[in-house]
């Protein structure tokens, strides 16, 4: 705990640049809080963005990023390259193996290999921290791991992807369709040119798998996550949701139930009176239900240069101040795999939208299918009539099981009067 | 970091009982997370509540609580006696002086003597932690001190007293008056028999002074807090607030402005679309505005046996795991007193309710007073007419200064047609 904490940074994109700036501009304040200086002693990247050049003058440069893992004057490697495999993975493995601590914002890497990497870190007696990987600037992993350490969690859920939340919020506020809003979001830089990781739910799944591990003491298990994105959410659904008293949000939900650990990502209808219903735009929010504290909400910026840098630097200060904690809250040997609750066992209410040819008898056919699966209908909505043309038919159900709803959906899809794939959105009560 | 962390507990009331239960029932899980066992090795209280007796069997008992401070087999003293002076203070001073760490839930003590106690702890090289003192089960001090360590804060504010928030929520939802709802809250145990500390704003002030110190690196300065409670909030105000698009909440607000550090506690009108507007009942919430992360919200249970015990035990685990941090985020020598922004300099909009004799010319008199103080009126509301009897007259202002509004209030109070003291509620925009 004497001398400076020597930091090697790998990757100088948006987040890397933010980290360099914060470390440089706030060196004095950070040293005061950490108890010793934090110093950049090595860097590696494909190129140095112009504004960073003065801050990196004099910092030893590594053409091969793997050099950071064996550099003698580096205590911590900050990995900001990204990707679950390739250079990011091999760098982190090499750094931990060489007895260096690692800080990363890489959710894909931690969601895929977190357990193995934590084991390597533990063996080497070094830190592996990734606060920035979940909910960006909101220190929710630290809260679950340390602040709420004495709680047993029943459920943890949240809005974990700012791009999806921005798109859904825009769709709701403007009435426009998904594809239009996505195009705008791409133009504004809120969505990537290749948006699949975000809008198909994978980014949320990575973060959820990490949250589930920290909350429930299980090895990260990305393969156990049920994933559905927001491409099929239509402005019609959002309008009907509003009418029924709901917002539509893409949530990650994990819970510890009788059947095991549940992990699922999909669009949800949430009641207007839950805290998550009012989390709009690019914001993130996580709700943790602890048996001692009850429902605790953490909300804030989920991405971006400065919020992410805030989290990365906080991890570095923790390491500098020697505030250690097991990466997943408990020692690796105590992480115990648990049964996976199948999606088929999900219980709750459902919203179903059919696009049907408006002909006599359609409702009777639909009702017969629900009855056949023993799914009880709570409400039916149909706006306007347009005999012969295609109209939306909206149904909500009472509490039922996913398995039954899957059967219903399949049968609805094959109705002669059904004009397109039925849309099904789960209603979540918190 | 080897052997057990030996804990002496002082006070076995609601929170003390909760701490004993959590330490006993979760010993295994806590040891796994802390890296070593946490063990109760001493206790002192006026009496032992029956349900705790089996858990305390074999734990050495101290008739004089000060014995804990010098007990050889105690590493940490947990102070749960309460009160800013007297036994609580002398115990904490003695324990820190004797080189023992201290964990406390005592906001009054920390708000009054936090700076001096932190200096004693620092000199002795021990920990002083008080997460439970602010927002109960919500780990917001840890978040400000560690998770958001790299941020500079512009403003921190929140709903910090569950009793007041419960009363205001009930008043809004039922339309009943303050005194009735308070009586009910007392019967339900949500308010104390002597409710002054809560409803006059002092409990909120204690917590705000602690938040301000951690956020802005100033010595705790309770005397600098402007304090106003909720006794004068009437159901009429709540109804008119609703009509104007606001909820009424008792907030603690601290900010770092041009004139210095502002700290104030008073009822506020907050717009329905801010996160705090939806924090109801006994819940607490804190919003921290950091320059890197932006607006970050922490919400959850602010009091009660289990949430408070959750926070106390988390502090104990931090000590067991050797996760040290300066009590107020920076070393005591770095805590710098700053100018106090006077309440007179507060700028914003105001809501004013007059109870006036409904006679011709009243509005003209009122308008003249506002004009004389150069306060611009935004809206005037008057419901129904009742010539000769007393009716509410509601005004809201454009942005103005507290000093001007104080003059307006005084003049309004002395109007011949004014039937009672005018009610003035500040409108806050976040």
pLDDT in tens, A312-361: 999 999 999 999 899 999 999 999 999 999 999 999 999 999 999 988 88
Helix intervals (H) in B98-201 = 107-124, 140-142, 162-174, 178-188, 196-199
| DSSP bridge pairs for B255 | B155, B262
Run of H or E including A132 = none
* Nearest neighbour of A292 by CB, restricted to B151, B296, B307: B307
Q: What is the spatial distance between Cα B200 and Cα B337, in angstroms, rounded to a whole number? A: 26
* Nearest neighbour of B33 by CB, restricted to A149, A301, A313: A149
User: Under DSSP, is residue A351 helix (H, G, I), strand (E, B) or coil?
Assistant: strand
Nearest CA in chain A to B291: A306
Q: What is the pLDDT of residues B267-303, one digit of tens each?
A: 999 998 888 998 999 999 999 999 999 999 999 999 9
How many CB pairs lie under 8 A apart between chains A and B? 172
Q: What is the pLDDT of residues A193-246, one digit of tens each?
A: 999 999 999 999 999 999 999 999 999 999 999 999 999 999 999 999 999 999
Average pLDDT over chain A reads 95
Q: How far is B384 from chain A (nearest CA, A)?
A: 33
Q: What is the pLDDT of residues A272-302, one digit of tens each?
A: 888 899 899 999 999 999 999 999 999 999 9
Beta-carbon separation of B313 and A137 below 8 A: no
User: b/e map of B204-225 (b: 16 or more CB within 10 Å)?
Assistant: bbbbbbbbbbbbbbbbbbbebb
Interchain contact B392–A (C-beta under 8 A): no
The answer for residues whose C-beta is within 8 angstroms of residue A235's C-beta and 6 or more apart is A171, A175, A176, A177, A178
Contacts of B334 in chain A (CB under 8 A): 32
Least confident of A16-30, B172-186, B316-330, B382-396: B382-396
Which of A 244-283 lie inside 8 A of B, CB atoms? 273, 275, 278
Sheet of A128-129: strand order equals A38-44, A5-10, A76-79, A101-104, A128-129
Query: Active site includes B336?
Result: no
Q: What is the spatial distance between Cα B280 and Cα B276, in angstroms, rounded to a whole number? A: 9
Give pTM, 2 decimals: 0.96
Beta-carbon separation of B306 and A321 below 8 A: no
| DSSP bridge pairs for A288 | A156, A296
* Nearest neighbour of A137 by CB, restricted to B33, B293, B317: B293
Nearest CA in chain B to A323: B323
- Measured torsion, CA atoms of residues A276, A281, A286, A289, in degrees rounded to the nearest 10: 0
* Per-residue pLDDT at A410 exceeds 70: yes
Beta-carbon separation of B299 and A143 below 8 A: no
Mutate to test the interface with A, among B132, B147, B280 (most CBs of A within 10 A): B147
Identified catalytic residue from A21, A207, A249, A410: A207
Interchain contact A91–B (C-beta under 8 A): no
Which of B 347-376 lie inside 8 A of A, CB atoms? none
Evaluate whether A286 touches A200 at the Cβ level (below 8 Å): no
What secondary structure letter does DSSP report for B270? E
> In this predicted model, which residue has the larger pLDDT, A384 or B186?
B186
Contacts of B292 in chain A (CB under 8 A): 22, 137, 306-307, 309-310
Identified catalytic residue from B207, B249, B336, B410: B207
Beta-carbon separation of B324 and A322 below 8 A: yes
Residue B335 has a pLDDT of 96
Beta-carbon separation of A137 and B299 below 8 A: no
Which of A 103-132 lie inside 8 A of B, CB atoms? 131
> In this predicted model, which residue has the larger pLDDT, B41 or B361?
B41
């Amino acid at each position: 705990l004497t001398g400076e904490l020597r930091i090697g940074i790998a990757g100088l994109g948006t987040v890397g640049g933010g980290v360099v700036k914060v470390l440089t501009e706030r060196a004095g304040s950070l040293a005061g809080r950490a108890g010793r200086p934090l110093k950049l002693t090595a860097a590696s990247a494909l190129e140095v963005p112009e504004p960073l050049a003065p801050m990196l003058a004099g910092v030893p440069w590594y053409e091969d990023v793997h050099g950071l893992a064996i550099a003698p004057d580096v205590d911590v490697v900050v990995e900001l390259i990204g990707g679950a495999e390739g250079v990011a993975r091999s760098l982190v493995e090499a750094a931990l193996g060489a007895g260096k601590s690692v800080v990363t914002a890489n959710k894909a890497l931690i969601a895929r290999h977190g357990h193995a990497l934590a084991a390597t870190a533990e063996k080497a007696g070094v830190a592996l921290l990734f606060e920035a990987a979940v909910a960006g600037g909101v220190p929710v992993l630290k809260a679950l791991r340390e602040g709420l350490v004495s709680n047993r969690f029943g459920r943890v859920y949240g809005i974990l992807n700012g791009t999806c939340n921005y798109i859904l919020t825009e769709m709701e506020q403007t009435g426009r369709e998904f594809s239009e809003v996505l195009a705008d979001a791409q133009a504004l830089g809120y969505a990537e040119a290749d948006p699949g990781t975000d809008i198909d739910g994978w980014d949320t799944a990575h973060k959820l798998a990490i949250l589930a591990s920290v909350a429930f003491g299980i090895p990260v298990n990305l393969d156990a996550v049920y994933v559905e994105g927001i491409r099929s959410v239509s402005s019609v659904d959002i309008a009907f949701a509003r009418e029924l008293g709901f917002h539509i949000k893409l949530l990650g939900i994990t819970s510890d139930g009788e059947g095991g650990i549940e992990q699922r990502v999909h669009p949800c209808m949430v009641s207007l009176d839950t805290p998550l219903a009012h989390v709009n735009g690019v914001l993130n929010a996580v709700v943790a239900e602890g048996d001692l504290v009850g429902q605790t909400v953490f909300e804030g910026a989920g991405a971006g240069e400065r919020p992410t840098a805030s989290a990365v630097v906080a991890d570095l200060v923790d390491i500098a101040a020697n505030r250690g904690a097991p990466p997943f809250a408990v020692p690796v040997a105590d992480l115990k795999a648990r049964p996976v609750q199948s999606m088929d066992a999900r219980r709750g209410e459902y919203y179903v939208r059919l696009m049907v040819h408006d002909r006599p008898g359609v409702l009777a056919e639909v009702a017969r299918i629900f009855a056949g699966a023993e799914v009880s209908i709570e409400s039916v909505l149909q706006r306007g009539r347009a005999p012969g043309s295609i109209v939306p038919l909206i149904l909500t159900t009472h509490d039922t099981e996913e398995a039954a709803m899957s059967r219903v959906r399949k049968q609805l899809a094959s109705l002669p009067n059904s004009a397109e794939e039925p849309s099904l959105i789960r209603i979540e009560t918190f």
